[in-house]
Amino acid sequence: MPEEKQETPRIQNTGPRGGGPGGGPMRAFEKPKNAGKTIRRLLGYLKNRIFSLVVVFILMMISSAGMLAGNYFLKPIINNYILPGDLKGLASSLMMLGAIYLVSIAASYFQNRIMMQTAQQTVNTLRRELFTKLQGLPLKYFDTKSHGELMSRFTNDIDNIQMSLEQSLIQLISSFVTFVGSIVMMIILSPILFLITMVLIAVIIFITQNLAKRSSKNFSAQQKHLGALNGYVEEMVDGLRVVKVFNYETTAIEEFRKRNEEYRKAATNANFFAGIVMPIVGNLNNIAYAAVALFGGMLTIAGRFDVGSLAAFLQYSRQVGMPIQMMTNQLNTILSGLAGAERVFDVMDQQPEVDDGQITLVGMIKQEDGTLVPVTNGARPTHWSWKLPSSNGDKPQYVELKGDVRFHNVDFRYDPEKPVLKDVSLYAKPGQKIAFVGSTGAGKTTITNLINRFYDVEDGQITYDGLDVKQISKNDLRSSLGMVLQDTHLFSGTVMDNIRYGRLDATDEECIQAAKLTSAHSFIKHLPDGYNTYLTGDGANLSQGQRQLLAIARAAVADPPVMILDEATSSIDTRTERLIEKGMDALMKDRTVFVIAHRLSTVRNSNAIIVLENGEIIERGNHDELLEQKGRYFQLYTGQYQLS
């Protein structure tokens, strides 16, 4: 098997969100490679929600128009009512102004609520499709991806898409409308003051963008050092036993101090620039506001501008910088969301696992005359058969499932440059136990992976009851196989649920019987809630041996005709191994069994032992025959050659 890649934790950006005038530093973000294509694809997920989007757009326009109209309303209030002293008119105007703001607030509320629901529905669909896609991908794809990398698609990337749809997209459009509207209103009120305002805003943008670039650079360095620091802590915690065994504590502390100091320096610089942006921008905005007020006041005193227009203009001048800040912030978030969407779509575009098999597995019942017929009326099958596809209305043909597995001159490689199996031929007759021994990397596990078609052979052929496994549906093929792997995986749920995972329609009694058969019952009954004990964290509250026993019980309840045991007893102590030996013999009775084990004591009673080295079969025979040959197996058994 290819060496498993070490997971690299994906670190969330801890820097302040946003950038531009008044918004702190710009976030370090990854730009999408093809934004147009990604946008079109995302719009495909929104086409069924077009009505909601239209409503959101209308509400957004109402909200923005309300804010713009409210500011302009100051002009008639001051000129027509405050200056003349018309209190009655002022009260009516204020009530109207309040109504405008209430409508704007209500529109903003419903706009955000609808958009949030739309975004949640969209990412819900994305998550579901992404998870479904992962179930259909071949193992070869997962060999090249770390678990952390794939998990980040469901967390960081989907969250970025959600944030972009839920807040950033509508706020970007709203900010643009508000910005354009403010510009138009300022030009209408006073073109001269508008030019002065734009010059001042341009200066502010220039200064803050330079600060933002420096801050963004430092935040990138901060994230780099934070990732290294977190990765080191995770590595040291996971390997704490090794650290203590080899007295590595002092070195580990010194290395941590060094990495922690690097992070401190980067974080100090990043947060310094982030901290000074707000006060600088705030003061620059105040200076700009004072300058506009000064020039506007001079124009008003000169009789070229009225007081009401000046008040309204000052409101717009105060407001016009905010949309620029918002657009800068939200554009960054949207670009991050598009980059995340690209990564999600990259997974969705992967080629699914190919399955051209048309031979299916059907349950059969033996009649009195000894013939097998397909199960009807939901009866429990007593036998299984392969159903061959029929053509031209011919009567379907059935081949009884016996468990006859044969390799015919099989070649295979994971990497085109590195052959793993070379011209391997072997057979396992129904009911035989075949054991594989050899050094690590000899190809033992690869053989079992080819039987269940986790991978397909490069050259040669594998037959199952005389049928080419490539012609058998993968789901049906794997239903006929039981596997117990060296690396046991338990799911969150009760002990009973984990045993029943082997066959979902198994009754509680069948699960208990399987546990008794494999000697798992003896420790399960002593758990706090017995078979109802809830397991979490991959069965962290059980010993490794207990977890392995549950995995064996899970395979037993599946009751398959062919069993694959890959280091199935590697984590079970010698005493426990002796306890389950009888149960394992019962489990393997009348089944074809493939065994991979480093403990040669577990393969002594095999019908055939196959010794592999560098992907080739160098010896085969039973235990006594191989000892007589005094070859590699003899060396392994007598301890003259160690498995590695």
What does the pLDDT look like over 349-401, one tens digit per residue? 998 888 888 999 988 888 878 788 888 776 778 888 999 987 766 788 899 99
Highest mean pLDDT among 96-110, 302-316, 564-578, 602-616: 96-110
The tokens for 393 are: 């209305």
90, part of any domain: yes
Q: Are residues 286 and 171 in the same domain?
A: yes
- pLDDT at position 640, please? 58
50, part of any domain: yes
CA dist., res. 227 & res. 7, Å (int)? 12
CA dist., res. 636 & res. 501, Å (int)? 37
Q: Are residues 133 and 275 in the same domain?
A: yes
Last residue of a domain, one of 348, 371, 391: 348
Q: Are residues 378 and 281 in the same domain?
A: no
Pairing of strands 534-535, 493-494: antiparallel
162, part of any domain: yes
- pLDDT at position 7, please? 36
- Assign 533 a pLDDT band (cuts: 50, 70, 90): very high
- pLDDT at position 16, please? 34
CA dist., res. 230 & res. 8, Å (int)? 10
Higher pLDDT, 111 or 274: 111
**Nearest CA among 600, 597, 602, 592 for reference residue 627:** 600
The one-letter code for the residue type at 274 is A
Q: Are residues 336 and 372 in the same domain?
A: no
Last residue of a domain, one of 304, 322, 348: 348
- Helix runs in 73-157, H state only: 74-76, 87-135, 139-143, 147-152
Residues 379, 385, 386, 391, Cα dihedral to 10°: -70
H helix and E strand count, the chain:
21, 16
- Counting the structural domains of the chain, the total is 2
Q: Considering Cα of 348, then 354, then 358, then 362, what sign does the dihedral take?
A: negative
DSSP-derived 3-state class of residue 336: helix
Q: Are residues 246 and 331 in the same domain?
A: yes
- Assign 29 a pLDDT band (cuts: 50, 70, 90): low
The one-letter code for the residue type at 624 is D
23, part of any domain: no
Q: Are residues 308 and 380 in the same domain?
A: no
**Nearest CA among 407, 434, 410 for reference residue 420:** 410
Q: Are residues 155 and 245 in the same domain?
A: yes
Strands across the sheet with 397-400, in order?
372-374, 360-366, 383-388, 397-400
Higher pLDDT, 594 or 172: 594
Structural domain including 388 reads 360-400
Q: Are residues 231 and 339 in the same domain?
A: yes
CA dist., res. 25 & res. 275, Å (int)? 9
Q: Are residues 366 and 297 in the same domain?
A: no
Q: Are residues 95 and 197 in the same domain?
A: yes
- Assign 170 a pLDDT band (cuts: 50, 70, 90): confident
- Assign 55 a pLDDT band (cuts: 50, 70, 90): very high
111, part of any domain: yes
**Nearest CA among 290, 311, 291 for reference residue 300:** 311
- pLDDT at position 534, please? 92
Q: Are residues 339 and 378 in the same domain?
A: no
287, part of any domain: yes
pTM of the full predicted structure? 0.72
The tokens for 558 are: 């599946």
Average pLDDT on 482-500 reads: 86
Domain of 63: which CATH number?
Answer: 1.20.1560.10
Mean pLDDT for the chain overall: 82
